[in-house]
Structure 1
Amino acid sequence: MTEVAPAAGAAVRCVPAVPSWVSLMAGDLEGAQAFYGPLLGWSFERGPDRWGPYVRAVVDGVAVAGLSTSTGLQLPVAWTTYFGTEDANEVAERVRARGGTMAIGPLGFDAGRLAIAADPAGAPFGVWEGGCDHGRSWLSSSGAPVWIELRTRDAFEAALFYGEVFAWDTRDPKDLEVRWEHDRVVLRTHGRSVAALATGTDPAARPNWQVFFAVADTDASVDQARRLGAAETGPVLDTPYGRVAHLADPHGGRFAVISVRP
């Protein structure tokens, strides 16, 4: 995670087998925009409303995240990470065969097909089939998601599940490399670390994929998040990947911010 500016013509892509999109299920869509917009420098554009109100968060002209609200359903406020795939039906079959569950889909939508699943430990994740290519999954500018991390009871067991579901061992090493570093199973694509699986220290905590958004200054962002009504869920820490703060937005959605190392 070393880049801090998008390349010319950058775009969020569906990249096979790696995290490619993030979306927030918000209880209050206007409130979520009022919080994340100033905190992460987002502007918003209206998206398809087939399943309820939906907007895309935009950084430097590129959509980097989705925000939606359910219609008539009381769903928890949470961020979901979507993995790219060439075939959502095949992934759904692999999820079920390996002890996971399918909650939604696969269903067709404007950018392809999507599904929501959970791994055997209960961590939710999304699946996106959307004309996948083998470029970079997202840009690395301030305000964009730059790191996704699973905290779970057994990182190696989780890595076996995701590796089999998304066929990690069949990929070209240039497109996907799996390595062990800093006590994590780390996914790298095109020379860039994008995600990790780590064994959590709290056995009572529910396993989950947490989204890390890039910011210029973590401490300043924490101060701003507090003023906007957020709560800190842990101390600000220096990590091998950058200075990190874990936060909960005013409606309880958990996320993190990170100032990446130059």
Structure 2
Amino acid sequence: MPKPDITPGSPCWIDLMTSDTEKAKAFYTALFGWTYETGDQEKYGGYITASKDGRMVAGIMEKQADMGAMPDLWSTYLRTDDIAATTAAAAANGGQVLLEPMEVPEQGSMAMYADASGAAIGAWQFGEMKGYEIAAEAGAPAWHELLSKDYESAVAFYQKVFGWDTSVMSDTPEFRYVTLGAGDEAKAGIMDASRFLPEQVPSMWSVYFAVKDTDASVEQATALGATVMQPAEDTPFGRLATLADPTGAVFKVIQDLGQTN
């Protein structure tokens, strides 16, 4: 497939904050076939870039000791062409700036916010690094979804801060969902999770990875030390399961049931 078309406001990168980079690398290599390149320690803090079939797909970084009880987690970054303006807009529209814009030498600039519903979301302004080079293929990110406990505020935040042109997929009390873009062109979604997320669980972004066979991937992942958070089930969008990797970072795997394996 061609390189993903990453327009401003769209998901452009994901990375894993983990307490054990070696364990994470071994797990995702076995599950997704990833290979790795570790950046210069002084220049890039030893940031690890994961590739699938020679194309960049994700990042991995070691969780710092001063992060305390913060769980290991996957993060999503949205593209911005003006990270300073995006940061100002985040603060002005109910968000919180968790990490001020920071230049990554030659690669681009990053920032991290809590959105208006409290979910962490990253921003990335392209330099030489222009996001992941593969998507919606086995072992690559296939979808990005915000589970929000303050749905209306979250939708307004992404419209105002990242310029999202949203499309309503459903607006019933049981299922409220909007997407960035419409139909087959949609690139991310926001779900009203106020009815089902436990009180102690905050609003959060989820990363879906494409797999050829969800059941086989779940079986393999558990053999590698993962935990099943939600068993495999058929949905209108594919066969879906939720897993936590060996150190607890949660992610989803999805199989396109319209494809033959």
Question: What is the TM-score when the length of structure 1 is the normalising length?
Answer: 0.86
- The answer to whether residue 215 in structure 2 is matched with residue 219 in structure 1 is yes
The number of aligned residues is 246
Instruction: For residues 70-122 of structure 1, give each alpha carbon's deviation from its aligned partner in whole angstroms, at most 9, with x where no partner exists.
Output: 34433431111000000011010011111111111200014210001111221
Name the aligned partner's letter for residue 157 of structure 1: S
Answer whether contact 2:57 2:133 (CA < 8 A) is retained.
Answer: no
CA gap of 1:70–1:106, structure 2 versus 1, over 3 A, is: same
2:102 to 77, 97, 107: 107
1:196 to 184, 189, 200: 189
* Correspondence for 2:149: 153
* Correspondence for 1:66: 59
* Correspondence for 2:7: 15
Instruction: For residues 208-248 of structure 1, give each alpha carbon's deviation from its aligned partner in whole angstroms, at most 9, with x where no partner exists.
Output: 00000000000100000100101011122211211110011
Question: Offset at 1:155?
Answer: 2.6
* Correspondence for 1:175: none
Query: Stretches of 4+ moved more than 4 A in 1?
Result: 134-138
* Correspondence for 1:85: 80
Instruction: For residues 120-149 of structure 1, give each alpha carbon's deviation from its aligned partner in whole angstroms, at most 9, with x where no partner exists.
Output: 2210010000059x9998532110001011
Q: Which structure 2 residues correspond to residues 1-262 of structure 1 after superposition, within 5 A? A: 6-7=1-2, 10=3, 15-49=7-41, 50=43, 52-74=45-67, 75-109=70-104, 110-131=106-127, 138-169=134-165, 178-182=166-170, 183=175, 184-188=177-181, 191-200=184-193, 201-204=196-199, 205-262=201-258
Question: What is the TM-score when the length of structure 2 is the normalising length?
Answer: 0.86
Answer whether contact 1:99 1:119 (CA < 8 A) is retained.
Answer: yes
Gaps of 5+ in 1: 1-5, 170-177
Question: Offset at 1:254?
Answer: 0.6
- Higher alpha-carbon deviation: 151-160 or 26-35: 151-160
Answer whether contact 1:14 1:129 (CA < 8 A) is retained.
Answer: no
Q: Distance in 2 between matches of 1:254 and 1:238?
A: 19
Answer whether contact 1:155 1:185 (CA < 8 A) is retained.
Answer: no
Q: 1:140 is paired with a residue of what secondary structure?
A: coil
Instruction: For residues 183-216 of structure 1, give each alpha carbon's deviation from its aligned partner in whole angstroms, at most 9, with x where no partner exists.
Output: 4111238943321100112241211000000000
* Correspondence for 1:3: none
Backbone CA RMSD of aligned residues: 2.5
Q: Distance in 2 between matches of 1:16 and 1:237?
A: 33
Q: Distance in 2 between matches of 1:189 and 1:56?
A: 31
Q: Distance in 2 between matches of 1:67 and 1:45?
A: 10
Answer whether contact 2:238 2:254 (CA < 8 A) is retained.
Answer: yes
CA gap of 1:210–1:135, structure 2 versus 1, over 3 A, is: closer
